[in-house]
């Protein structure tokens, strides 16, 4: 977990710049749990399915820079693929999620999700459900080959136990503010 010196939640002020970060990936892979764990520090295994999208905000400070993150949790069903395009417009960062226990969700990263956003949009790949070790279907070699070819940062996370959630958000945030 990121320490309080790395990223700290602070009181929002009206002058804070706002940064749009979108979370994309297949349906039922844990996007909403991922976002809720980060913003509210909660885990609900019975989180309702996202219809369209919703967003939460979190004000963060890193290395003296204060920003309000607008974190958009999007619908993951393929029939809404074009709708997700509209949510990714003007996003500064995209967290591309897949389920480590579902190889098809990883294959859809290649086919659907990695193309979202503008060419200048920063992206980080996130493998969800790292706590389900025995059910894992996506190998480390598959992931390494893909992240190397795409120049992506990568984190394996567990919303259930809060593993690497803060780190994934910190990475996308650092990429965004370093290019501003």
> Is position 1 within any domain?
no
> Is position 119 within any domain?
yes
The range of the structural domain enclosing residue 70 comes to 8-178
Give phi and psi for 24, each to the nearest 5.
-125, 160
Domains identified in the chain, total number = 1
Per-residue pLDDT, averaged over 8-17, amounts to 43
The whole-angstrom separation of Cα 67 and Cα 173 is 9
Query: Given pLDDT bands bounded at 50, 70 and 90, which one contains residue 50?
Result: low
**Which CATH number goes with the domain that contains 69?**
3.40.50.300
H/E element, 74: strand 65-74
Which range is least confidently modeled, 51-55, 74-78, 83-87?
A: 51-55
């Amino acid at each position: 977990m990121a320490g309080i010196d790395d990223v700290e939640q602070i009181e929002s002020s009206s002058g804070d710049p706002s940064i749009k970060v979108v979370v994309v990936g297949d349906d039922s892979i844990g996007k909403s749990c991922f976002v809720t764990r980060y913003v509210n520090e909660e885990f609900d295994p019975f989180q309702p399915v996202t219809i369209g999208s919703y967003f939460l905000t979190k004000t963060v400070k890193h290395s003296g820079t204060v920003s309000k993150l607008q974190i958009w949790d999007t619908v993951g069903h393929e029939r809404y693929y074009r709708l997700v395009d509209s949510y990714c417009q003007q996003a500064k960062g995209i967290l591309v999620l897949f389920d480590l226990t579902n190889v098809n969700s990883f294959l859809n990263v290649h086919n659907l999700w990695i193309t979202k956003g503008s060419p200048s949009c920063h992206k980080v790949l996130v493998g969800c459900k790292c706590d389900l070790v025995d059910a894992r279907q996506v190998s480390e070699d598959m992931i390494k080959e893909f992240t190397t070819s795409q120049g992506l940062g990568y984190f394996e996370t567990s919303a259930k136990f809060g593993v690497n959630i803060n780190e994934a958000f910190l990475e996308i945030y650092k990429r965004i503010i370093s290019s501003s």
